[in-house]
């Protein structure tokens, strides 16, 4: 059948359609082009969010957050600007999640408060999502749909096949998105672990099958592109951890990421082997363990787990305490225990504290502060120095795994994702060196990559950026002005001239007062001269100006700004306060 216009001509044998070899979208699909639009995660670690658009249909892969840098004063989380999705809200069909880490699901409450679309994820991922949405009172209206590895789901013109991958979290998938122009493979976060502790190894065969079908574009995790070789499997930590369990003379405090279900399972197995009871301390680690037990990823032997209140009932060498706070978070259980301020977790001289995690860049000071407190309590602290064996392994593939994936699926086009610009660039160089992709493309947030069966070109840019949120609330968005004011206050402090004005006459009542906060110049003469400046400004203003509080505040602010910059070389935030009499 020959179709007019932009439609392509294909066989329409009814038997083929009935057998399922052809779908409706194959029969009558305009020859549109596919667009890949990263909204976050390409140029920073975190905020992972990618839109795929074909015609009037958009699906979104991941909806992550990132934690703020130091200069974002008072900000709790940062999520991607989704202006593009909001502008095209009628076209957004679904959000698909690769796994349950915060940099992939943490932005969901923000996005779903603007776009109530179905969310697809694996069973464990959705369990994390449910808790997050319930906390933000969005769960009742959410449409959560389970993904199962090996089972396709169809969303508009997209047919999505989840593929099992291994990572530092359980139940993670890559997404092979079958589109009318070809297969786009998004790896999510992955490493190639063929002996995963949960019994679900990396599905090499599924990726090899994709390579035989032909992959149009591979989007691959760049996190560990700097690391040569292969990333060790999760079980690689067992020998060293076994030695530590055997040698610990007293209580053993075991701290890892609360999402590290593999590591928690290994810790529980070793505790059982060495005759130690296990107590879980910390809300995040307790919640994760509960979800993992409900879904069968943790199956501790009967009697292994005890309540924190039972710790005092056992000898110190019979205890293993799984405790949250591996990154030195100020209010975490480990941080409070380190300063002897936790109800159940008491660290005594001779206890062992094991930090089975990596240091996330930016957290160094907080972690070393906690370690200092632990050392003051004469605890033995073991962190990941790598000198005596592994106590932590990464969840991301290193260079050889990245090369293996490229050679396995043999994509026509290649785009690195998840990382700072330098990681993306080095990943481009690695992909070129394999000689496999016909074309490698370095994309950044907001750039639009347009693909058909034979071409891939950047064709424009959409609005992207960072949205800062206070108090972990979808309502408390912090703008650039607020951040600038916070920096201003932090650098030069606050200058508060207080003036009493008679509302009826516009006359100044009494002498103005000057109050400061965080203003470094503690000079009584400077403050007296500043008060004289305010008096002169008021005297030089007429009654109408003094009655217009907006005008008089601006005049006072301008005159004081000039005076303080000249006489104190400071630029505090000046906030005149008018008291009506």
353 and 239 within one domain: yes
Q: How far is CA 423 from CA 47, 63, 227, 285, 364, in A?
A: 16, 21, 11, 31, 21
Tell me what pLDDT residue 465 has. Answer: 87
Query: What whole-number distance in Å separates Cα of residue 219 and Cα of residue 430?
Result: 14
Domain membership of residue 345 (yes or no) is yes
pLDDT, tens digit, for every residue of 315-371? 999 999 999 999 888 889 999 999 999 999 999 999 999 999 988 776 788 899 999
Query: Does 383 have pLDDT greater than 60?
Result: yes
Query: Does 401 have pLDDT greater than 50?
Result: yes
Find the range with the poorest average confidence among 15-24, 153-162, 197-206, 478-487.
15-24
Domain end marker among 441, 469, 497 = 469
Q: Closest Cα partner for 540 from 551, 529, 550?
A: 551
366-390: b or e for each residue (b if 16 or more CB lie within 10 Å)? bbeebbebbeebebbbbbbeeeeee
- The response to whether 196 counts as a known ligand-binding position is no
Find where tokens 């000039």 sit: 562
- The response to whether 272 counts as a known ligand-binding position is no
261 token code pair: 């279900």
- The response to whether 395 counts as a known ligand-binding position is yes
Active site residues: 221, 396
Number of CB atoms found within 10 A of residue 130's CB: 14
Query: What whole-number distance in Å separates Cα of residue 115 and Cα of residue 78?
Result: 18
26 and 38 within one domain: no
174 and 40 within one domain: yes
pLDDT, tens digit, for every residue of 202-228? 999 999 999 999 999 999 999 999 999
Domain end marker among 451, 469, 487 = 469
- The response to whether 74 counts as a known ligand-binding position is yes
- Tell me, what CATH number does 145's domain have? 3.60.15.10
pTM: 0.79
Domain membership of residue 7 (yes or no) is yes
Query: What whole-number distance in Å separates Cα of residue 498 and Cα of residue 264?
Result: 58
- The response to whether 510 counts as a known ligand-binding position is no
Domain membership of residue 389 (yes or no) is no
The total domain count for the chain is 4
- The response to whether 348 counts as a known ligand-binding position is no
Query: What whole-number distance in Å separates Cα of residue 462 and Cα of residue 467?
Result: 15
Number of CB atoms found within 10 A of residue 172's CB: 29
176 and 51 within one domain: yes
- The response to whether 167 counts as a known ligand-binding position is yes
- Tell me, what CATH number does 355's domain have? 3.40.50.10710
Tell me what pLDDT residue 257 has. Answer: 92
Query: What whole-number distance in Å separates Cα of residue 319 and Cα of residue 312?
Result: 10
- The response to whether 394 counts as a known ligand-binding position is yes
Q: Closest Cα partner for 530 from 480, 564, 507?
A: 564
- Tell me, what CATH number does 527's domain have? 3.10.20.580
Cβ pair 354, 389 in contact under 8 A: no
Domain span holding position 146:
32-229+395-469
Query: What whole-number distance in Å separates Cα of residue 121 and Cα of residue 305?
Result: 30
């Amino acid at each position: 059948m020959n179709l007019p216009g932009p439609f392509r001509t294909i066989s329409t044998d009814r038997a083929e359609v009935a057998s399922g070899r052809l779908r409706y979208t194959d029969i009558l699909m305009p020859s549109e082009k596919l667009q890949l639009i990263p909204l976050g995660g390409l140029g920073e670690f975190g905020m992972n969010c990618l839109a795929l658009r074909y015609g009037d249909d958009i699906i979104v892969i991941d909806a992550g957050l990132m934690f703020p840098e130091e200069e974002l004063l008072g900000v709790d989380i940062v999520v991607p600007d989704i202006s593009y999705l909001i502008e095209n809200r009628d076209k957004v069909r679904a959000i698909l999640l690769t796994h349950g880490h915060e940099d992939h699901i943490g932005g969901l409450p923000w996005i779903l408060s603007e776009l109530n679309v179905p969310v697809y994820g694996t069973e464990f991922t959705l369990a994390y999502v449910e808790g997050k949405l319930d906390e933000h009172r969005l769960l009742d209206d959410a449409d959560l749909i389970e993904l199962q590895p090996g089972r396709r789901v169809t969303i508009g013109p997209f047919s999505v096949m989840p593929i099992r991958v291994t990572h530092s979290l359980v139940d993670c998938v890559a997404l092979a998105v079958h589109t009318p122009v070809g297969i786009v493979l998004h790896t999510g976060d992955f490493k190639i672990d063929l002996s995963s502790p949960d019994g679900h190894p990396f599905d090499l065969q599924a990726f090899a099958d994709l390579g035989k079908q032909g992959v149009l574009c591979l989007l691959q995790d760049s996190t560990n592109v700097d690391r040569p070789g292969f990333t060790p499997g999760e079980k690689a930590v067992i020998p060293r951890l076994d030695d530590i369990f055997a040698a610990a003379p007293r209580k053993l405090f075991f701290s890892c990421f609360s999402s590290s279900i593999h590591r928690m399972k290994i810790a529980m197995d070793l505790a059982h082997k060495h005759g130690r009871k296990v107590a879980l301390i910390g809300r995040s680690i307790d919640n994760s363990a509960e979800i993992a037990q409900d879904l069968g990823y943790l199956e501790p032997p009967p009697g292994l787990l005890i309540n924190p209140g039972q710790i005092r009932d056992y000898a110190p060498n019979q205890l293993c305490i799984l405790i949250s706070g591996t990154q030195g978070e100020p209010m975490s259980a480990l941080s409070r225990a380190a300063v002897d301020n936790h109800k159940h977790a008491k660290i005594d001289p001779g206890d062992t504290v094991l930090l089975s995690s990596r240091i996330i860049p930016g957290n160094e000071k907080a972690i070393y502060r906690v370690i200092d407190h632990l050392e003051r309590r004469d605890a033995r602290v073991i962190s990941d120095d790598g000198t005596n064996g592994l106590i932590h392994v990464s969840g991301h593939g290193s260079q050889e795994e990245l090369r293996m994936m490229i050679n396995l699926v043999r994509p026509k086009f290649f785009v690195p994702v998840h990382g700072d610009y330098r990681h993306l660039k080095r990943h481009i160089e690695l992909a070129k060196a394999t000689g496999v992709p016909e074309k490698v493309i370095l994309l950044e947030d907001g750039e639009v990559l347009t693909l058909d069966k034979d071409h891939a070109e950047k064709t424009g840019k959409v609005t992207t950026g960072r949205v800062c949120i206070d108090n972990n609330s979808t309502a408390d968005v912090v703008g650039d002005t607020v951040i600038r004011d916070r920096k201003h206050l932090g650098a030069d402090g606050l200058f508060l001239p207080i003036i009493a004005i008679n509302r009826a006459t516009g006359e100044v009542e009494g002498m103005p007062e000057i109050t400061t906060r965080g203003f470094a110049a503690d000079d009584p003469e400077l403050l007296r001269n500043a008060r004289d400046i305010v008096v002169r400004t008021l005297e030089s203003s007429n009654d109408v100006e003094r009655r217009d509080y907006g005008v008089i505040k601006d005049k006072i602010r301008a005159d004081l700004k000039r005076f303080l910059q000249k006489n104190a070389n400071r630029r505090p935030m000046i906030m005149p306060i008018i008291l009506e009499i």
